[in-house]
Structure 1
Amino acid sequence: MAAPSTPAAPDATHLAYKNTDQLSVTLKEPTSFKLLYFPIHSSGATTREILSIAEAKWENLVPSDWEKEKEKTPFNVLPVLFITSQTNKDIILAEAAGVIEQYLAKQFRLMGCNDYEENLIKSFHSSTASLHSLHATTVAFIPDRDARKRAMEVFRDGPFRAWVTLHEKHLRDNGSNGYYVGDKLSLADIRTANFIEHMNLQTGGQALYDIINISPCLRKLCVEVAVDYKISRWRSSQAYKILTTATDHYFSDPFAPVSKL
């Protein structure tokens, strides 16, 4: 299990384009991982939980001075995942959490039992990730608190309620068993549960959580994810609790320097 933070990551400015067959072996046969992300849950939460479920060897890397270090990432954004194999060939996945999450989920058998199930899971995952991105771009980083509150209300009564209605329907169609596909945990379940927890930590997020509490299928999904033994163990860890405190602090004032987290 990863510590709350470790020394900063190596330079990841350049992606590799040669010897791709050899690099593919690293993707298929990884021995360890390093996740570079801010010391909060947000877009790092699902990746951390997948690595915890897999009982993988991984480290949590935190930027010490993001404004200077972002030029050393492929797209000047986080997260970035460093993957190492037995041959010690390091490769990088970056640009969006979805790329990293889908790779890890497939690696650790969280993408269903066949191609159809895999694509269903990708669809549900994409729907939730898109709503998360919409919140980030239209609500989370509005500087004025009153304007942010009004934007949150618009988000709640429009896109969020629509998402809840649609996802309740799809979960009912699968038997209201707390899973999107079949009867076992998948990437889609973990991503949605983390999104709901993420929303609850926002200013005004309790109003969103109240909607979830009267949505039985989504509520059951959150329970099924939380009771998974390996996820429960991660969420009970000191590292997770530190991230939760930092996340709560950050979203109470998203314009404070990250170094203060």
Structure 2
Amino acid sequence: MPTYRFRYFNLRGLGEVPRLLFALAGQDYEDVRIPSEAWATEKPNTPLGQMPVLDIDGKPFCQSSAISRYLARTFGFYGNGDLEALQVDQALGVVQDVITAFLKSKFEKDAAKQEELMKEMKEVKIPLYFGMFEKLLKNNGSTGYFVGKKISLADVSLFDLCDKVQPLVKFADYPLVKKCNENVGENPKIKAWVKKRPVTDF
């Protein structure tokens, strides 16, 4: 088994899905959290001048989605075969749409514009995208998983997303999303990680 070293800031942010996958797999790794004030020094040591970075036997790789997909395939959380992988990927596409819209609103510097974007996020985009999640979960037989009857990268990614956008979502309106979120959150390995992970703002 390779030696893994995962480098990211002391945030959940773009680094939490890989950490959740390590936890779910029961795989040891070095969780390196770079202080923001040390980023200028660390930046030249990354492949593309950005984090997260996954070092595999000392060789660095970047891009959070690429890292998550690699870990999911390696640990068996990417479905069985190409069609199930496609099911995972279509859910991940919706997750990314939500994240893109959410980050745009969260980091808008103009206060009035930010309020407008957050309102649109809550009233328009969350219902749109979470309605899509409901459809995908229903199409899988309402099992509470996106693929079959076990956790995949899609479920882990939705769990992480729900954590980030929780104040904007009325989960009672999305029972299958709620069920999926609970399925992941109640997994003993995930539960143990969430309990012990550092408390961060985002």
* TM-score (norm. length: structure 2): 0.92
| Aligned residue type for 1:190 | V
Distance 2:158 2:69 in 1: 14
161-170 vs 184-193, which moves further: 161-170
2:178 aligned with 1:219: yes
- String of CA shifts for 1:143-186, please: whole Å, max 9, x gaps: 23443222111122232221111110111111211101111100
2:60 aligned with 1:92: yes
2:56 aligned with 1:83: yes
Which residue of the other structure, out of 169, 175, 188, is the alignment partner of 1:209? 169
Distance 1:155 1:43 in 2: 20
Aligned residue pair count: 200
| Aligned residue type for 1:121 | V
Which residue of the other structure, out of 174, 182, 199, is the alignment partner of 2:148? 182
2:69 aligned with 1:102: yes
- String of CA shifts for 1:115-147, please: whole Å, max 9, x gaps: 2101211221122023212321x2121123443
Return the structure number with greater helix share.
Answer: 2
Q: Which residue of 2 aligns with 1:231?
A: 190
Which residue of the other structure, out of 96, 120, 127, is the alignment partner of 2:94? 127
Q: Conserved in 2, the CA contact under 8 Å of 1:98 and 1:129?
A: no
| Aligned residue type for 1:51 | F
Distance 2:50 2:112 in 1: 28
2:72 aligned with 1:113: no
Q: Which consecutive segments of 4 or more residues in structure 1 shift more than 6 A?
A: none
2:39 aligned with 1:66: yes
Distance 1:68 1:147 in 2: 34
Deviation at 1:192, TM superposition (A): 0.7
59-68 vs 38-47, which moves further: 59-68
SS at 1:110 equivalent: coil
- String of CA shifts for 1:20-57, please: whole Å, max 9, x gaps: xxxxxxxxx42x21111111112111110100111111
Deviation at 1:58, TM superposition (A): 0.7
Where does the alignment leave 5 or more consecutive residues of structure 2 unmatched? Answer: none
Structure of greater Rg: 1
| Aligned residue type for 2:33 | V
2:134 aligned with 1:168: yes
| Aligned residue type for 1:225 | V
RMSD: 1.6
- String of CA shifts for 1:194-224, please: whole Å, max 9, x gaps: 0110112xxxxx2x222x2321000001100
Distance 1:149 1:37 in 2: 29
SS at 2:142 equivalent: coil
Aligned identity (percent) is 25
Q: Conserved in 2, the CA contact under 8 Å of 1:47 and 1:100?
A: yes
Deviation at 1:188, TM superposition (A): 0.2
Q: Conserved in 2, the CA contact under 8 Å of 1:36 and 1:80?
A: yes
